[in-house]
């Protein structure tokens, strides 16, 4: 089984990229206990992910953010969403989705499967302080592949 073959690092995330059907890409991601991916988007790709092992918490924003021309946004009240995803549970999202995915367990790795179409052209990383969301970095595929 592919999930069981992913090497798990006690200190950091591990991943494997696979070619998906119809020109999509699939990522198998392992997260150590007590870690998260930080706030990010997927550069305009549509996506879906499911928990394969362990449990994950997704925190997301129910707001469509502009994709260019800003560095800091003040979020309004009521845009925060949170869901827990146990093995077999997942979710899909559109091209403007901003979220962070956390493994809140203190003892168990979590593994998830992610699919994106088109393949990720970039990822924008954000910091969040209260209601302020700040664009911190734009990563290109050559930085993570």
| 34-45 pLDDT tens trace | 999 999 999 999
Query: What residues pair up with 145 in beta bridges, in sequence order?
Result: none
Could you please state the CATH topology (level 3) that the domain comprising 2-64+78-121 is classified under: Jelly Rolls (2.60.120)
Range of lowest pLDDT (4-8, 90-94, 116-120): 4-8
Counted residue by residue, the chain has a size of: 145
Task: Say whether pLDDT at 2 is over 80.
Answer: no
Mean pLDDT of the chain: 93
Task: Say whether pLDDT at 87 is over 70.
Answer: yes
SS3 114: strand
pLDDT of residue 68: 80
Task: Say whether pLDDT at 1 is over 60.
Answer: no
Listed residue (27, 8, 48) closest to 144, CA to CA: 27
Task: Say whether pLDDT at 125 is over 60.
Answer: yes
pLDDT of residue 23: 94
Q: Are 112 and 35 in contact (CB under 8 A)?
A: no
Using the structure block, give the residue that is written with the tokens 């930085």. 143
Q: Are 71 and 137 in contact (CB under 8 A)?
A: no
pLDDT of residue 145: 66
SS3 120: coil
Model confidence band, residue 17 (pLDDT cutoffs 50, 70, 90): very high
- What is the residue extent of each domain of the chain? 2-64+78-121
pLDDT of residue 48: 97
How does strand 56-61 pair with strand 132-139? unpaired
Model confidence band, residue 64 (pLDDT cutoffs 50, 70, 90): confident
The torsion of the CA quartet 135, 103, 42, 80, rounded to 10 degrees, works out to: -60
Distance of alpha carbon 123 from the chain centroid: 10
- From CA 29, how far away is CA 17, in angstroms rounded? 9
Listed residue (103, 99, 112, 113) closest to 42, CA to CA: 99
- From CA 128, how far away is CA 134, in angstroms rounded? 6
pLDDT of residue 66: 83
């Amino acid at each position: 089984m592919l999930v069981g073959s992913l090497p798990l690092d006690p200190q950091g995330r591990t991943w494997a990229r696979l070619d998906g059907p119809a020109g999509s890409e699939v990522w198998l991601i392992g997260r150590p206990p007590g870690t998260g991916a930080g706030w990010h988007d997927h550069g305009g790709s549509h996506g879906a992910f499911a928990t394969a092992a362990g449990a994950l918490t997704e925190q997301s924003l129910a707001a469509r953010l502009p994709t260019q021309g800003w560095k800091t946004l003040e979020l309004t009240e009521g845009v925060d969403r949170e869901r827990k995803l146990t093995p077999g549970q997942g979710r899909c999202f559109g091209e403007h989705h901003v979220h962070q995915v956390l493994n809140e367990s203190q003892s168990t790795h979590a593994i998830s499967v992610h699919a994106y179409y088109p393949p990720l052209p970039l990822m924008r990383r954000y910091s969040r302080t209260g209601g302020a969301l700040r664009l911190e970095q734009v990563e290109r595929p050559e930085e993570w592949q």
